[in-house]
Chains A and B, each alone.
Chain A
Amino acid sequence: MRKRALGVAALTTLALTACGGSDPAAAPSAAPSESASAAPASGKLVIWADPNRVKALAPFADQFGTENGVTVEVKEISKDNQQTFLTASQQGSGPDVMIGAHDWIGNLVQNGAIEPVSLTEEQKAAFSDVAIKAVTFDGQIYGAPYAVENIALIRNTDLAPDAPATIEEMVATGKKLKDDGKVQEILCLPVGQKGDAFHVYPLFAAGGGKLFGATPAGDPDPKQVLVGSEGSVKAFGKLRDLGEKGDGALKTSITNENYISSFAGQKCAYLISGPWAMGDVRKGGFGYDITPVPTFEGGDPATPFVGVQSFFVAAKGQNKTLAQEFVTNYVTNKDVAKALYEADPRPPALTEALEEVKAADADAGKFMEAGKEGMPMPAIPEMQAVWDPFGIAEAAIVKGGDAAKAAAAAQKTIDGSLKN
């Protein structure tokens, strides 16, 4: 293999470096002390997770290791997890089990990086429907879900005691509070200079907007991009009315960095965010409630995107059988789901675990409720081409730009990049 030969050639040249003679303290002398007693490949299971979950997984990984007489290593990746996983896998230094979001699946599958996992009917029934739907791609289940997250409307009940029935009502209350000087902003929803498709999607959907058409099977159809369609233009028009030249509820100055802290600091009475905001919200020290995102008067349902965190079996792992075993029979149990919830409070995908969590923490149930009608984030690789242009169109419209023009430009950009 050419690649291998090149790799060898490159590394042999480097092995010779200490010939400089001048710094004998360099690498080679230290080599023997670094006893890298690599266990034989068959006896090792390697898991990659993001920093928040490594600690929570460790005890279960150890337990699995003890029961099966193997060593289990949980490694931590901080950035560009999906791409790092793909690159490492391709070169043969990837993990056996990967943890990530379900909307990676399309891209992981087209790269042949993950394998289907076989859950029994019984196991499938133990998860919430939306979780199973999310990890299903092309008729196959590609991951074992463990947490479900979606956004909802979080309300400061000290300022706004009643849940708004419509967006109009929410904006009216927000405006009144602002006029009274009780808050500074009507709504805390991140837009930023580049837009935020994830957070604005419920409002977009409520206004009648759509990203993709549907295949006969009900999956998003990448051949029908509807960002520039009539319904979407109408929805963008509604966002424009809420924007800086309209009600002032949507602003580019509200960003991912400040929207949660502004709400926690009581600068706004309404926040549209997910379970990850709750840590800060609770620190704020006021009464709050979580309800589904309302829709416009006479609008469509304000469906949020649902993200499902999952375990994947790497196709190029050294130890796929063990990985399959770990993913299908081990992490699908209640205790793992609960431990992961403790480490990072997102509602468990396992219904039984959710029930137990709900008893101690009502918020988890409320988020789940708000996301019941949600739409799993499209896992198709084509979605990658939508995020940026959609967000930029959103930001332009919020600033008061022409909805039809921005939508058309986004559509054109997306079509252009999907063609390639």
Chain B
Amino acid sequence: MTPDPREAAETRRAPRPRRTITTAFVVSRIAVLAVAAAILLYAAPPLIATRSWIGLGVLFGATAVIGYLYLTRRYVPAKYLIPGTVFLLAFQVFPVLYTVTTAFTNFGDGHRGDKAAAIAAIERGSVRQAPGSPEYQLTTAMRGSDLVFLLVDPDTKQVSLGDAAGLSPLTGAEVGVTGKVLRAPGVTVLTAPEAAARADEIAALAVPTDAGAIKASGLSRAFEGRAALAYEAGCDCLQGEGGPWRADESRGYFVNAAGDRLAQGWQVNVGFDNFARVLTNPTISGYFLGVFAWNSVFALASVAGTFALGMAVALALHHPRMRGTKVYRIALILPYAMPSFAMLLVWRDMFNRDFGLINQMLGLDVDWLGGVTTARLAVVLVNLWLGFPYMFLVTTGALQAIPRELTEAAAIDGATPWKAFRQVTLPLLLVALTPLLISSFAFNFNNFNAIQLTTEGGPFPAENPQVGGTDLLITYTFRLAFGTGGAQFGFAAAISVFIFAIVAIVSAVAFRRTRKQEEVYA
């Protein structure tokens, strides 16, 4: 059964002329059109309301393309791929691409927003209450259609009226026991819900004074304050205390002459700085090979171990006269049915030297997670426990697809069970499972949780707290990106790109080898 591409192409082309317009054809096309219309009707109005014309364009364009795709008889593969791909693009591809773009910025804690936001935060944070000024009790009121503040000085009980023009004394106001104004001539006092409804106006109103301005703080308090720092567009700097603080666009900070910087920064492009940091960081470059080697061993051992054990059990149960398979199977999938984060914590505890179950039962005094070799052994064992039910399940499924006749034929031919397995069962299993083994390798190569929830990368040597014995590339580089000085998303993204490249190359090479297999059995 050597596949002939021409033959395959012909079988697809040949029947076309015989096709006629069937009812199913018409109904399915009408259904497609109806669904497309329904989605347009649902999705378009909010886009129009918010004037998101680009979004609307994309919506129409995509609907048209998809509509065409399902109405035409061509592009058959696309018909099957589109439904999943749309979700994939929106929620996986787009986030990944977007994240990669952040690798070229200093995006991270202290540099999350844009410059305007940083300036606003700095100015707001620098507002201090004017020394000696009263802490006013605030009542909000309307004078005609204007919002005004009725301010009660708690010490003198004097009432003033504040508006955008300034502060003026107010007489004849009636002040309640809580210090709020109940009634006042010429204005209508707002009730709490009315005030809450005008929260934005209240926040916006500043009553100018000599020392600064009186602003509301919440709905029932106001104070006279002044911003110690103010932005000036001319010098692109903040004037005031300790200043001038000039904008440093290469780092996204305001710095002063003394070299100090303000805490609030903004996101700027840093080009390839993050990538350069990965390559030049002595911790990363100095330990890369060691960590990479262990990382590969871990991934390989995890895949090989889980597959071997899972397959062995599946084969053992795959026998017509085997009894109790139902009970066995349930027991075997239990590790997979438990929340893995919980079980990882349990395992970590079992490896405890003084309190752990393992030492207790074996009568040992081994500091499992304290030594490099034992810790590595431990994480591989834990990962075996977590992963083998998965392999067991897929192998069980795959075994059903292998015609029993084949193995029986081998047995009749006098092959030993081992030989029958090697020559008949295993090759067929591998056709079905090789793709899975590759993806399992890629998954385990980056298995953050398996390490983070057990050893956290440890044990760490005293002389180097940054690289632990069981650290994978992903755990140790992410400790660099997140464990020190807040989250550094840009740096983390750059690291991810490197790791991604490594995994991609390894997987691609492995994947190339499957081509032959695929063609032989397809």
Contact = CB atoms under 8 A, between A and B. Distances in A.
Partners in one complex: yes
A324 B218 contact: yes
A26 B484 CA distance: 43
B32 interface: yes
Contact of A110 (B59, B70, B110): B110
A397 B462 contact: yes
A413 interface: yes
Interface stretch (A127-135, A153-161, A368-376, A386-394): A386-394
Interface residues of B, number: 97
A6 B55 CA distance: 9
Given A120-B135, A140-B125, A328 B89 contact: no
Given A15-B43, A20-B82, A409-B463, A111 B113 contact: yes
A384 B59 contact: no
Contacts of A121: 135
A16 B86 contact: yes
A28 B39 CA distance: 7
Most chain A CB within 10 A, of B117, B193, B217, B479, is at B217
B66 A19 contact: yes
Contact of B55 (A12, A109, A321, A414): A12
Interface string A373-411: 000000001101101110011011101011001100110
**Chain B contact residues: helix, strand, loop or mixed:** helix
B445 to A, nearest CB: 23
Interface in B111-134: 112-113, 117-118, 120-122, 124-125, 127-129
A322 B38 CA distance: 40
B465 interface: yes
B110 A111 contact: yes
Most chain B CB within 10 A, of A19, A68, A118, A389, is at A19
Contact of B485 (A68, A139, A251, A381): A381
B112 A409 contact: no
B289 interface: no
B90 interface: yes
B377 interface: no
B125 A13 contact: no
A21 B71 CA distance: 12
Contacts of A384: 483-486
B98 interface: yes
Contact of A19 (B83, B218, B352): B83
- What size tier do the contact residues of chain A reach? 35 or more
B113 A110 contact: no
A112 B121 contact: yes
A8 interface: yes
Contact of B345 (A43, A83, A109, A257): A257
Contacts of A252: 353, 367, 370
B196 interface: yes
Interface string A335-359: 0000000000000000000000000
A321 B87 contact: no
Interface string A38-81: 00001100000000000000000000000111100000000000
A392 B83 CA distance: 49
Contacts of B367: 252-253
B325 to A, nearest CB: 33
A17 B86 contact: yes
Interface stretch (B15-23, B199-207, B295-303, B508-516): B199-207
A68 B91 contact: no
A72 to B, nearest CB: 11
Nearest to B124: A115
B82 A409 contact: no
A320 B220 CA distance: 13
B200 A315 contact: no
A194 B263 contact: no
A388 B355 contact: no
A256 B200 CA distance: 46
B345 to A, nearest CB: 7
B52 A8 contact: yes
B264 interface: yes
B462 A258 contact: no
Contacts of A17: 83, 86-87, 90
A118 B462 contact: no
Given A110-B109, A402-B462, A417-B484, 19 more contacts: A9-B58, A13-B86, A28-B39, A68-B193, A107-B110, A112-B112, A117-B217, A120-B221, A138-B125, A193-B369, A193-B459, A257-B349, A320-B199, A321-B196, A325-B220, A381-B110, A381-B485, A385-B484, A409-B463
By Cβ-Cβ distance, the 6 closest A-B pairs, closest first, are A69-B193, A112-B121, A20-B83, A396-B462, A8-B55, A417-B484
21 contacts: A6-B94, A11-B55, A12-B62, A19-B70, A24-B35, A68-B195, A69-B197, A109-B125, A115-B124, A185-B354, A193-B459, A194-B460, A258-B349, A321-B199, A322-B196, A329-B218, A381-B485, A385-B483, A409-B462, A417-B480, A420-B488
Interface of A: 4-6, 8-24, 28, 31, 42-43, 67-70, 83, 86, 90, 106-107, 109-112, 115-118, 120-121, 138-140, 184-185, 193-194, 251-255, 257-258, 262, 315, 319-322, 324-329, 381-382, 384-385, 387-389, 392-393, 395-397, 399, 401-402, 405-406, 409-410, 413-414, 416-418, 420
